[in-house]
Amino acid sequence: MKKLLLCFVVLLVGCQGQPTETKKPLRLGLVTWIGYGPFYVAQEKGFFKNHGIDVVLMRIEGDAERRAAIVSGDLNGSALTLDVVIVLRSQGVPVKAVMAIDASLGGDGIVAVEDVKSVKDLKGRQVAYPSGQPSHFFLYSVLSDSGMTMADVRPIIMDADKAGAAFAAGQVDVAVTWEPWLTKARETAKGHVLIDSKQKPGEIEDVLYMREDAILQRKDDIIALIKAWYDAVEFTKTNPDEAQAIMAKAFGLTGEEVAALVPKVRYEGREQNQLAFGTPENPGFLFSLYDRISVAWLTEGVIPKRDTPEEGLYPDFVRAVQ
């Protein structure tokens, strides 16, 4: 009897000494963009913890590095524009967009010299823009609205930041870029903002996309992540000074810089996400945007094939969090 009791005690102590398996955190890839600020607010204010989820925010600026991390599974998901999701899926990368994050409202646009007074004046002009990026789609869409095509302009392919810098230096007459280059164009006598995303809302939308295995295996975690995002967006609205201070620290910006950038985006909270994904009977605006980007990318040769919004968008989580 004593021997049996001793064995039981040894077994019990041994079991207690074994580490319990803990759930792995969700690993999300981000770039330096004010639209992703509420993720850092959620982290700083404990909203992730409040909803029972551990989230690691990983800053990965390079497209190739971020894609490799998604493909390998080092990242469970990432935040980027919807057009990126469409490109990744065309390359066979198994991801779907699960939540709308922010919409550009003046943060992107076209800067031009003074004699370019309308979109029609772009005909035959050299235009600097990054191929296969949101700036490319914005230009495609702006030209389409005026009955023009990309064949009407002479492309100079370069990164959006470099395009803005080239315009500021007087090296190009037209550039499709983003802030702070739009502000710099407004400050110079040699140029102006021809059109920006505030005048054409709904064209550049950031989304959270997740690997399909995470969508299948970590449903509760993703729902918790969305709830924490909603809390952070609401906090950003009701406590702007504190929220912006958190963002400034996260992005290495000054308070003044953050205060100037925040109005250039619309953070997509609970209500906007319901509009973005809609219902099965009445799909939201992300579905039509997905279609328009897909057509543009196929026309421009950015993607070799396209799929449908129903394949690339996963509305179940947002629709579950009413």
For the segment 272-301, what is each residue's pLDDT rounded down to a tens digit?
999 999 999 999 999 999 999 999 999 999
For the segment 88-123, what is each residue's pLDDT rounded down to a tens digit?
999 999 999 999 999 999 999 999 999 999 999 999
Share of the chain above pLDDT 70, in %: 93
CB-facing half-sphere around the CA of 20: CA atoms within 13 A: 3
How much is the average pLDDT of 218-227?
Answer: 98
Mean pLDDT for the chain overall: 92
For the segment 148-159, what is each residue's pLDDT rounded down to a tens digit?
999 999 999 999
Distance between CA atoms of residues 148 and 119, nearest Å:
9
How much is the average pLDDT of 242-251?
Answer: 97
- The reported pLDDT for the residue numbered 184 is 87
- The reported pLDDT for the residue numbered 254 is 94
Res. 322 pLDDT band, cuts 50 70 90: confident
Nearest to 144 by CA among 309, 308, 307, 293: 293
- The reported pLDDT for the residue numbered 16 is 44
Share of the chain above pLDDT 90, in %: 87
**Could you check whether the bond before residue 180 is cis, i.e. omega within 30 degrees of 0?**
yes
Structural domains of the chain sorted by starting position, each given as residue range(s) with its CATH number in brackets: 26-104+203-320 (3.40.190.10), 108-196 (3.40.190.10)
For the segment 261-273, what is each residue's pLDDT rounded down to a tens digit?
999 999 999 999 9
For the segment 30-58, what is each residue's pLDDT rounded down to a tens digit?
999 999 999 999 999 999 999 999 999 99
pLDDT at 7 over 60: no
Instruction: Tell whether the torsion through CA atoms of 32, 91, 148 and 206 is positive or negative.
Output: negative
For the segment 133-178, what is each residue's pLDDT rounded down to a tens digit?
999 999 999 999 999 999 999 999 999 999 999 999 999 999 999 9
Distance between CA atoms of residues 295 and 162, nearest Å:
27
Q: For residues 248 and 254, is the Cβ–Cβ distance under 8 A?
A: yes
Res. 187 pLDDT band, cuts 50 70 90: confident
Place of tokens 């094939």: 305
pLDDT at 22 over 90: no
Q: Could you list the beta-strand ranges (E) of 145-297.
A: 154-157, 174-178, 191-196, 205-211, 265-267
pLDDT at 20 over 50: no
